[in-house]
Every structure is written in C-alpha cells, then in structure tokens.
Amino acid sequence: MTVKTSELNNLAAHEIVRGIEAGAFTAEAVTRACLERIAAREKTVKAWAFLDRDHALAQAWALDSEPVRGPLHGVPVGVKDVIDTADMPTQMGSPIYDDHRPGADASCVALMRAAGAVILGKTITCEFAGSTANVTTNPIDPARTPGGSSSGTAAAIADHMVTIGFGTQTGGSVLRPSSFCGIVGYKPSYNAVNRAGLKFAAESLDTIGLMTRTVADADAMGAVLTGRATVVGKGAPDRPRIGLCRTYLWPTAEPATVSAIEDAARRLAAAGAQLTEVALPDRFDRLGAARDVLNDYERAHAMAYEWNSHRDRLSPGLRRAIENGYAMDLARYAEAQRLAADCRGRLGPVFDGCDVLLAPCVPGEAPVGLASTGDPKMQGLWTILHVPTITLPTHKGPNGMPVGIQLVGAPGADTLLLAVADWVMSRLGADR
C-alpha cells in the first residue's frame, strides 16, 4: 500500500490496520495526519471539545512499540463528550462540568483501547446530548447545521479529522448529523452496546451509535463492542428483500428526500433487490409524541442533580424540557411506555418478507443556520422501537448537500442490516 503521509487521515479503518501490519506506515503517522487536518480546519468546523496533541501521539507511539494489539490497531477515534474517558475531561457540553475528570473509561471506550484504537479526543456535543445547538458547523457548508446532538463526531469524520467515532441517539442524534454531514451513521439495537460510562439523557431510549465513512468500519466497530464476528464482505443476500416504508411522516419530506428514497428504490430494484411496499400499523403514528414524553420525563429525573444544584447554568430549552418532565403525570409516562411496547410487539408482520426497510432519514438537506440542529422525527420513530438503523450517504440535494437514506432492521437483526447496507452502498455509492 502506497499512500502519501499527508493523506493517511483519509483512509478507512481496515486500510489503516492493514497498512500498519504491512509496515507501510505507523500509527504515529496516521495520528499526525489527523492532527494536521484538525489544525488546518478546526477554526471553521469547531468539532472538538478536548484535544491534547501530545497525549494522542503518546498513544500512537505506544502502539508502534508493540505487536498489533487488535482489529483497530492505530485507528483514530473521536468520542462524543457525554461518554467518559479516564484520561480526558468529559464536559457534556455544559459549563457545569468544565474540566470534569471521570475516574474510568466508559465500556465502549475501554473496548476500543483494547482493540488498539487511538482515542484522539472528545468531540463537541449539544448540551447533555439534547437539542440546544453548540458551536460546530457543517464541514461542507459552515453556514448550515451539522445536526445534533452528535455534531462534533459527525463533522470531524466528514472532514477527515478522524477515522471513526462515537455518537449517542435518544431521538435522532446519530443518524441526523450523519445524514447532514454525508457519512455512515449506525444506531445498533437498543442496549446492544453496553452503556456503562454514558451520561443518560433518557434511559429507555439512549443508544450508543457508531459513526464512520464506510459500512465496513461500522461493522468492525460493532464487532469489537459486542464480541461478534464481522459480517461485511462475508456474503449478503443475493437479492435482498427491501420494504419501501415511507412512514406516516412522508408528507413532511422535502423534495430532496422524496427524490432520494424513490431513486434508491428504483435503482435497487434494477440491481436485483426484491422491493415491496410496506405500511406501518395505524397506532405507530402516535410514537413521535410518545418518544417526546419518554424523553422529557426520563431526562428530568436523570438530571435531578443538575436541576437542583445548577439550574441557572442550564439552557432555556433544556430547562423547559425538564420542567415538562417534572410536571408530567406518571400515568402519562406509563401510557407512553405501554404504547411503545405494544408497537414493538407489532413489528413482526412489518418485517414479514423483508430483510430491511428503506425509509426516509431526514426531511431534506441540512438547514441553513446554526440555531437549530434539525428535525429528529424521522429518526426518533425507530429509536423508540429499539430497532437497528443505519443512514447511508447515497444522495445529494439541490444545493449539493448530502441527503442520506435510512435502512431499518428487524429487532436484533443488526448483522443482517449491516450486510444489506453494504450491498446497498455498493449499488448506490456513486452519488457520494
């Protein structure tokens, strides 16, 4: 493998590992390439909450002094700043936690280190992984939002500052910024990735998500985090069964998303996929409101300390959400949980005859302006259902901005979702 040293930050994870194993370059060289990219672009993108150049290089030097440690040896990782790191602050996008130093790594971070990854730094998050926008810009067009709340991770990966990274999703905080920034965003099945060391927003929804530039890298991260084997490149269905599911939110889709979904469906059918139309049961149109109930109720109780001790340091939007949660009757919360459980129980027939669903991911291109991170409803529908989902950077809108499609897997069917996603990406990737 021959790659210019200055371009090592552009490589996928498997290319980095293979190159280091072959002696073509070192972990230090990869880390330096990422740091140089950050130095050139961070004033515009503003993706990083914490970055220590010397510490990042020290990790790389340590890796270069030993045999290949694991399947992510030398791969730089960005960690959303609501996930604990023992050697870096976890500040959660809030002045309440300025320079807060956890005593241990989150489980997902510890597993990355054991697999040989370089924890490059902490990426910007919206305040407590909520909806109040932070400073990060979209690297493709800085006048537009990068999405949120995993804004820093999405922007850093899209801008080739780092190879892979972590986000979290309570509504749409992995898939929306991934779509807006033009990368792969994978939300595993609920609780498939251990959440120890994550600051909860809403415990029955929060999922640690994986953000990359390729499906293979998302698969590799998932394998490290769950102990399973990788699946990409080991055989997808010859003719995957894809259900076109526009969902009840289709009327809110802008022309860019309508075009992306319909074009994807046509091209995938022409490539050999078995396409069918799938409709969701009537009760599912209540899930958006139920997700909001769960979010506010659980967020309020998860943030009792911050509310009681530092209320004046919370943003107005977060204060409103917490006030809503504390004012909420327990019966209303219980009803939202019952609806969610009932709809999860009705998913079997939805996936009858389908390996995955093809659904809209976002209303359209990333909106202009940084005050809002965009509408999470098209992602939140699937988050409350606890199913695995992935967005793929297959299309662009009229302004040249990315518009991702969303593939949805059946409950627990993460490996099938990833295998089909790789098949889909290979057929639609020309628009990247």
Q: Annotated active-site positions, please?
A: 80, 149, 173
Please give the angle made by the CA atoms of 91, 97 and 99, to the nearest 5 degrees. Answer: 70
- Under DSSP, is residue 28 helix (H, G, I), strand (E, B) or coil? helix
Strands 241-244 and 274-277: parallel
The stretches of 46-165 forming alpha helices (DSSP H) are 53-64, 107-114, 151-158
Of the candidates 388, 380, 392, the one whose C-alpha atom is nearest the C-alpha of residue 356 is 388
Kindly report each contact of residues 329-338 with a partner whose C-beta sits within 8 Å and lies 24 or more positions away, as own/partner: 332/293, 332/297, 333/293, 333/294, 333/297, 336/289, 336/290, 336/291, 336/293, 336/294, 336/297, 337/204, 337/294
Q: Do you know the residue count of the chain?
A: 432
Amino acid identity of 110?
A
Please give the angle made by the CA atoms of 230, 234 and 238, to the nearest 5 degrees. Answer: 130
Residues 49, 81: contact at Cβ < 8 Å?
yes
Residue 368's DSSP bridge partners are 144
Amino acid identity of 249?
L
Please give the angle made by the CA atoms of 336, 341 and 347, to the nearest 5 degrees. Answer: 130
Residues 185, 179: contact at Cβ < 8 Å?
yes
- Under DSSP, is residue 298 helix (H, G, I), strand (E, B) or coil? helix
For the chain, give the longest Cα–Cα distance: 62
Distance, CA of 345 to CA of 341 (rounded, Å): 6
Distance, CA of 83 to CA of 91 (rounded, Å): 9
- Under DSSP, is residue 204 helix (H, G, I), strand (E, B) or coil? coil
